[in-house]
Structure 1
Amino acid sequence: MSTTATSKPRLVTPQFVLLGAAALAYFLADGMLVPAVPRYVAGELTGGNIAVGLAVAVFSLSALVLRPWAGRLADRRGRSVAMVGGGIIFAASVACYGMADSVGALAALRLLTGVGDAFFFVGVVTAMSDLAPAERRGEAISLFSLSLYGGLAVGPPIGEALVGVGFTAVWLAAAGLALVAVLLALRVGDTREPVVDAAEARGGRLIPRAAVVPALLLLALIWGMAGFLAFVPLYALDLGLPGAGFLLFGFAGIVVVIRSAGARLPDRLGAARSVRISLLCTTIALATIGCWRSVPGLVLGTVVLGIGVALGTPAIMTLALDRAPAAERGAVMGVVSMSIDLAQGLGPTTFGLAAAATTRNGGFLAAALIAAAGLALASRSVARR
């Protein structure tokens, strides 16, 4: 058999690299705002805890609501239109943060930033799925996610350093990076596959059937992770540790290593099998932390949770893309990515309610039940392969 016949389809093309660079520039800009916005509200706008929470949360609200429409736009008008439009809205709104003289004005601008995020994120993740060969989608999503993790790891320290210069420097630097992402997205161009069927080209439902189960599975996975990230700093203190920095670093490190060195795992194991393994790991991890109230229990649970999260997101998105026709990829990615925003709100909230009614261990156990429900759904709804 010839080498050409046995070689894998190429994944890392110049277009794929350009797309990854656009994503990295955008997520660096996004990461810079993470420490800067709360400090701006509390300092320059003299807002309290509620004001800080409002300014941070409204971003996710508009992003959550608009993701399905962003997906439809990406399907009908092209991924580049969604990325470029979203990036420009993001950059323009952030550049105006310094003009906000009240928490309400900043919150309105943050809503616009969320609009930009909805369109850019859905556009870039859908373009990535277009460029990836079907049998390497899990690997593509794993590698693509490193742009997000890299931006959100490096962006905040840069933002904090620039706050020392002045908040205007943060806003202009973040807006500038977003415009760099726009220019790179323009170089990528439209990545849609040609659609022959006219009815298919017009698009289908706002919430495609192919997206429903994967969206619920991703919700179950991220729900527990969001609660863990919000409360593990406090739980570590409960156990007598000086802090949770080494746990959070280790968790992120496990995710990055598996998503890079083990990027091909979701494709080799199969998307369905990877999803089940991921939700099983997540359930065991959260239950271990909740039942074994000790430092070893927390460390072991953190390691297993990192494995579950690292495998889960690429596998679930691959599962959704495998079920979606080419003309609905944007809509599917829009609906599935909504689960991330929803889980980041519901996870800490339900964890807090469960912890208030019982203990923080009870919060971890409640999160484990959500993951177990996702595992049951995956076992029943996802074909074994």
Structure 2
Amino acid sequence: MARLLTPRFALLTAADLGYFTAMGIAVQTLPLYVTGPLHSSKAAAGLAFGAFAISALLLRPFAGRLSDRIGRRPLLLGGTALAAVSLALLSLATDLPTIIALRLLAGVAEAAFFVAAFAALADVAPPDRLGEALSLNSLSLYLGLALGPPLGEVLAQRSYPTAWLTAAALCLAGTTAFLFVGETGTPSRGAKPKLIHRAAVPPSIGLCTALVASGGFMAFAALRAQEEGFENTSLPLFLYGATVVVSRAVFAKVPDRVPPLKLGAIALAVIAVGLVLTATPHTLLVGSIVLGIGITFSTPAFFAAVFAAAEPHERGAASGTASAFIDIGLGGGPIMLGLIANTSIPAALATGGAVAAAGCLWTLWLRRAH
């Protein structure tokens, strides 16, 4: 069996950890800052949180094409550096329009970083261990989401600028790690790379529904914890992230042993149950754990389905297409559910569960069609 845990794989994962811990800090602090010191509404908190998805959604396909043409490394370095700038400037923002503008800038960084990172991972992973590679590498994402919120809560008690400057420093640490990764792909100098990878679209729709659900949870978990009377409002996010980290480490080999669309459908069903539990009184923590179990398998399953239909020189386009649906889910989910949360946060979370259930039905149909 080909070796997976190489120095390149380790450096990619470490750099991802720095970036996603920074994002975890923003997940915790941004909604509380908007509804607290800025005295804006919960809908405004959802808009501020999800605004990055507008620019990221528009640019992801172009980032995918660019990573196939010039390589992954320039986008990895540029994306993390730009994310650091957008986070550092949040420390100077004192009004909602400025925050939204900086979140749009963060979307540019997200497009470059995320597309190139997934394409680079597919480059360095053995083909028969891609699911395992996705599971292990994504530990950085969810470890970041587990550690980032409590770290952000502690730092924000000193000041919100302290939290955002720390997040910026973590992104710069990721930039430094990418300097040592080198180029993982083979830049295309011939035919023009694809902008949209059509075969990636159907499984990406299923992935999108999972991320509408999880995006809504991440945007409103701290506010839901406040409603439930939690003194530690970051606890649901910590349990969610910790569950994914532990489960992906323990079950890393499962995505290579279960057909991806079957695994994706099961994951979406579990996500739907988890969101309903978070909306139910006194079961927020249980729902956070159940949601984490569903998310454990959703991303590896759907990305395995996406990359299974892509040639090596198309991985940037496939990653760009799939990650555009991530923006729709993670960005559009909080914005859409924020309109409902303005009246009732439990209703918003339950709606996220209904979206995941619809995604489960779509994925089952897609598997049957295939």
Instruction: Confirm whether residue 121 of structure 1 aligns to residue 114 of structure 2.
Output: yes
Number of residue-to-residue matches in the alignment: 364
Instruction: Confirm whether residue 329 of structure 1 aligns to residue 319 of structure 2.
Output: no
Shift of the alpha carbon at 1:274? 2.4
- Selected match of 1:378 from 363, 366, 369: 366
Change (3 A) 1:356 1:369: farther
Q: Distance in 2 between matches of 1:190 and 1:10?
A: 19
Change (3 A) 1:179 1:343: same
The answer to whether the 8 A contact 2:204-2:325 is kept is yes
Shift of the alpha carbon at 1:40? 4.4
Q: Distance in 1 between matches of 2:343 and 2:68?
A: 44
Shift of the alpha carbon at 1:236? 9.8
Q: Distance in 1 between matches of 2:337 and 2:164?
A: 33
Uncovered stretches (5+) of structure 2, i.e. residues with no partner: none
Q: Distance in 1 between matches of 2:207 and 2:175?
A: 28
Residue number in structure 2 paired with 1:147: 140
Matched ranges for 1:53-202 at <5 A? 53-193=46-186, 198-199=190-191, 202=192
CA RMSD of aligned residues (A): 3.7
Instruction: Confirm whether residue 21 of structure 1 aligns to residue 44 of structure 2.
Output: no
Q: Deviations over 1:243-267 (max 9, x none)?
A: 6988766554443232111101010
Q: Distance in 1 between matches of 2:169 and 2:332?
A: 33
Change (3 A) 1:42 1:232: closer
Change (3 A) 1:207 1:279: same
Residue number in structure 1 paired with 2:248: 259
Instruction: Confirm whether residue 317 of structure 1 aligns to residue 317 of structure 2.
Output: no
The answer to whether the 8 A contact 1:224-1:371 is kept is no
Change (3 A) 1:231 1:175: closer
Q: Distance in 2 between matches of 1:217 and 1:55?
A: 25
TM-score, length basis structure 2: 0.82
- Selected match of 1:48 from 40, 43, 57: 40
The answer to whether the 8 A contact 1:67-1:118 is kept is yes
SS in 2 for 1:84: helix
Indicate the structure whose relative CO is greater, using CA pairs within 8 Å and at least 6 residues apart. 2
Change (3 A) 1:251 1:66: same
Change (3 A) 1:223 1:55: closer
Instruction: Confirm whether residue 203 of structure 1 aligns to residue 193 of structure 2.
Output: yes
Structure of higher CA gyration radius: 1
Uncovered stretches (5+) of structure 1, i.e. residues with no partner: 1-7
Q: Deviations over 1:128-185 (max 9, x none)?
A: 1111111111001111111011112212222232233334433332222211111111
SS in 1 for 2:65: helix
Change (3 A) 1:272 1:65: same
- The percentage of counterpart residues that share the same residue type is 39
Q: Deviations over 1:293-316 (max 9, x none)?
A: 8989x9987766544322221011
SS in 1 for 2:251: coil
Q: Deviations over 1:39-71 (max 9, x none)?
A: 544566x34225544432322322222221221
The answer to whether the 8 A contact 2:18-2:170 is kept is yes
Instruction: Confirm whether residue 221 of structure 1 aligns to residue 188 of structure 2.
Output: no
Residue number in structure 2 paired with 1:366: 354
Residue number in structure 2 paired with 1:33: 26
Q: Distance in 2 between matches of 1:246 and 1:164?
A: 16
